[in-house]
Structure formats: C-alpha cells, structure tokens
Structure 1
C-alpha cells in the first residue's frame, strides 16, 4: 500500500491518503480527541499510543493526524504509516462494523427552505475544499440568521480557522442566501479553554511591553 501525505494549513496536522476508502459509504467524517473514546476504532486506539499524537480524524478517503507542538514528524510519521498500512491492507476497516460518521447535512423532514439551501451549499461547495485541507465542517443549526458550524480535523485548531469561517464560508453563504446574516463557530470545552488561555497570554505580553510609545516631536 502506498500512502501519500499532504500538508495542511495547520503545521501540527498532516493528511495521510491511503488511496482507498477510509469510512463507510455515506459517512462524512469521524474525529477522536481522546484515546479513551476510541472504542469503535482499533486503529485510532493504536494511533493514540504513538508518542506525540494528539488527535485523529477520519475523512471519506483520508486520515488527518494532529500532533502535539513539541512532537517531531520525523518520529511520528513512520509509526503512523505502519499502523495505517496494517489496518487497511487487504481491504480492512478503520472502524468496527456498524459505525457511521457525521451525516449532518443530510436533508431532514421539517427542514425549512433556507436550512435545505444552507446544507446543500455546505455539502457541494464548502465541504470539499475543507476536506482538501484535511478537515471537515459540521452543521449545528440555523437561528436568527446565524448558521452554527463546527470545524473538525486540521481546520479545528489552525490559526486560519476564523479566516476560513468569516472570509470563506460566511461570505459564500451570505452571497447565495439572503436570509443568512453570519456564521457562528461552535467550540468544544477544550477549545474554549485554549482560547481563554491564549487571551490571558496575550494580556500578559501587553503588560510586559507596556503602552505604545508615541514618537517625540
């Protein structure tokens, strides 16, 4: 099996492409952020045992591995290659039978015309480009003109996630659907904590640097 790798907008995430389907047909994605939650994927459980692996993401035909900041890809990649090859060689599966990934953009009975249009745009125009970057996007609802979305995989923690939402996704949805007034990113508890810690760090830096000095006349 020949596995290709591609970089992503997130320097800590790498996309592994095995050249064979990763998830069952009809599934969009599956994400594991904790080794204790890998009961339905023996491969994910083994990947978390690799020193430096922080998150595992399955797309339809790719696997994105996010490493810790201090881990070195030179040591992580060979082990990941070996585990993916072992799991998929001979037509194997990365998840136990009966496991399905996200199907959040599937039409549902009761969807309004606006929600149906949002889901169609997400599925046909936006999701492919997000998956190209090693991630996925999850529809979480539409309320008061705001589309609620959740970024997954490489896009979940990359520095450009806000830019992706605002400049890419939001502008497209607002262009095609006049009822859409904006996009709201839904964060996990872990992500909210990380953002708060980063804001505290920035505040400390500002205090250390002090107020900007005005140029003397």
Structure 2
C-alpha cells in the first residue's frame, strides 16, 4: 500500500508544480503585453519643472485685416462719400481738398485717383474720402475703380498724405478774438461742422466783418453742390443768427482760382449769347447756379 500512496503524492505534487508554473508564466506574459502597450513612466529627472510659453505663430499664418469700405450719397449727385471705417487723417488735422491733379505731390492716393477718367476732385475728411466726378461721367463705371484704389492703398497701411499736415486752426481760439467771434467759432466747430461733414464736405471760417457778416468757405461735396446757397442761407446762416444776434448774414468766400474760373465762364456765356442771340444757352445765375455763390 505504501507504493501506491507515494505515486499518488508524487502525481499531486507534479500537478501543483505545473499549475504554479502556468500561473507564473501567465503573469509574466501579462506584464510584457501591458508594458509593450503602455508608455513607460518618466523618471523624476525627466519631468519639466517649468511650462514653456507658447511660441508666436510665424508671420505666414498672420492674416491682415481686410477693409470694409462703405459708400454714402451726398446732396451733390456728382460727389460720393467713401467711409473706410478707420481714420483717414491724424486727429485735429484740417481737411484736405485736391481740385487739380498737378497739386497731389504729397498724396499718392489722390494722384492715382486723378488718373481715373472722370475724377474732378478728391477731398480728405477725418474719417472719409469724398470723390467728385465730372458731370458727364457715370458712377456706374467710376465707382468700382475708385473703390478698388482706396481699398488697395489703405490695406497697405501707408498714410494718405505724406509730409507735414496742417492742423485745424480756423476755429481754434485766438488771443485777439472777441466774445462774438469766440461764440461763432464754437458754434461752427460743435454744431455746424459735424453736420457738413456728414454730407461729405467741410467748412472753413474766414472771418467776421464789422457789418455782421460771417465769411465761410464750403469745401468737399458742398463746394460744387447746386444746393450750396440753400445750405448757407437756410442752414448755417439761420443757426448763427438764431444763437448770436450780432450775426447779420453769411457770405461764401471763393479762392482766387475759383473766382477766375467763374469770370471766365461768365465771359464764355456772354460771347455765346452774342453769337446765338435769343437761342443762347440760359445763364446759370439762378438761385442754385454758379453765379449765386459769388
């Protein structure tokens, strides 16, 4: 009976050894399989102690802001107001007007605009550009070209005017100003000028006479508008006379070149009337004509 007992014990011992060996092999296999899948844990020496800041994106990824230029009509059908949504002139600068392409040496943008067929004048306001066309041209063809030039130039970030820019000094307080002149300047600067700029133009104070007349010059879209006389009389003159009793009226002042142009045009009309007699073209001396602003 002893031999069978020893054989049974030996069989049990072999089966126990085989089960423990299988379990050991299984545990080792599991460790190898998981270690091949899971990343190794970094040591303390490899863990960074500080967080590096993010590097800026290269210049190739930066995008430049695209302008969205709006256009607004003015009381003058031959003038259109372009609003780029950013300042056109530096703060406190006087408005700038170009009526001749030969005088645009300090403004590459104005020089490019005058190269377009049909552009008559270019006016720079604080945050807008007014372009006036000739009466025989059409906005349908001219507007896209003006729009493209302004967009391309302002997107480059270059100033519209190079060199020194005159500050807005016509309504600035002066030491010799009387109380009436100070009130006129303040009213022009705070109430009248913003309204004129909304129409794509501007005004320039030229003086106050002993007879109570305020001397003003209309610029931009208002300068060549048929309703400029109405603007002076019904708008500016009425407001000044309402608030300042010393003001008796408003007179528009013309530059020497404009006076010469008007006189030459009057001579042309007079010669035309002599040649054609009763069939001559009627004069422009009506309430909204050129002669009405003289």
**Separation in 1 of the partners of 2:176 and 2:123?**
31
Instruction: Quote the residue 1:26 is aligned against.
Output: 92
Q: Which structure has the highest strand share of the two?
A: 1
- The offset of 1:112, in angstroms, is 1.1
Higher helix fraction (1 or 2): 2
Q: Which residue is equivalent to 1:149? A: 216
Q: Secondary structure at the match of 1:118?
A: helix
Name the counterpart of 1:50: 116
TM-score of the pair, normalised by structure 1: 0.88
Q: Say which SS state the counterpart of residue 74 (structure 1) adopts.
A: helix
| Aligned equivalent of 2:255, options 188, 193, 203 | 188
Asked if 1:159 corresponds to 2:226, the answer is yes
Q: What is the aligned partner in structure 1 of residue 36 from structure 2?
A: none
For 1:1-217, list aligned pairs within 5 A: 1-100=67-166, 102-144=168-210, 145-193=212-260, 195-196=262-263, 197=265, 201=269, 204=273, 207-208=278-279
- List runs of 5+ in structure 2 lacking aligned partners: 1-66, 281-294
Give the secondary structure class of the aligned counterpart of 1:65: strand
| Structure 1 gap segments, 5+ residues each | 210-217
CA–CA distance in 1 between the matches of 2:201 and 2:69? Answer: 18
Deviations 1:96-145 (A, max 9, x none): 14323543111112111111111100010100110000000000011121
SS at match of 1:148: strand
Q: Distance in 2 between matches of 1:162 and 1:206?
A: 29
Q: CA RMSD in A?
A: 2.1
Equivalent residues of 1:27, 1:101 under 8 A apart:
yes
Q: Secondary structure at the match of 2:116?
A: coil
Q: Distance in 1 between matches of 2:114 and 2:278?
A: 38
Q: Mean alpha-carbon deviation: is it higher for 183-192 or for 195-204?
A: 195-204
Alignment CA distance shift 1:141-1:93 (3 Å): same
Asked if the contact 1:151–1:185 (Cα under 8 Å) also holds between the matched residues in 2, the reply is yes
8 A contact 2:93–2:165 mirrored in 1: no
Mean Cα displacement is larger for which, 158-167 or 97-106? 97-106
Q: Which has the higher contact order (CA 8 A, sep 6+)?
A: 1
Count of residues in correspondence between the two structures: 209
Kindly name which structure, 1 or 2, has the bigger radius of gyration based on alpha carbons: 2
Indicate conservation of the 8 Å contact 1:24/1:100, yes or no. Answer: no
Distance 1:199 1:168, change over 3 A: farther
| Alignment deviations for residues 4-26 of structure 1 (CA, whole Å, 9 cap, x no partner) | 11111111100000001001111
What's the TM-score, normalizing by structure 2?
0.66
SS at match of 1:111: coil
